[in-house]
Amino acid sequence: MKVRLPITVRYAETDAMGVVHHSSYVIWLEAARVEWLNQIGLPYTQIEAQGLAFAVVEIGLTYRSPARFGDTVEVETWLSEATSRTLQYRYRVWKGQTLLAEGFTRHLCQDTRGKAVRIPAAVAEPLHRHLLSD
């Protein structure tokens, strides 16, 4: 399942040239990922309540075209890979039909002590149901 999250670019997200700063995209990816989890019926708060966290262990982004203050962009998100301990999400950031950026994040399932753990079946099952290959 793919989810698209609309975001209106805020002034604070731009640099001195009026272009969205590259670091803002990381925040947008997180917001879209959280929304994706909400849409599949697995809110991140429910994951945390089980003593789990999905730590970002790798991120990659390719910037193709700039976004600017006041633009409305959409962050498209989907789960592209799931193993017993890791997840990978893919992203595309659009302004209308223009692709602004694309990338991925990889996550490791951890307990409250930061130790890598297997993703429990109650969490893994809804994730696998909505998994899309690239």
Catalytic amino acids? 15
CB-based contacts of 126, cutoff 8 Å, min separation 6: 40, 41, 42
- Intra-chain end-to-end CA distance of the chain, in Å: 12
In this structure, are residues 61 and 101 in contact, taking their beta carbons and an 8 Å threshold? yes
List alpha helices for the chain, DSSP H. 22-39, 44-49, 121-129
Strand order in the sheet with 98-110: 3-8, 72-82, 86-95, 98-110, 53-63
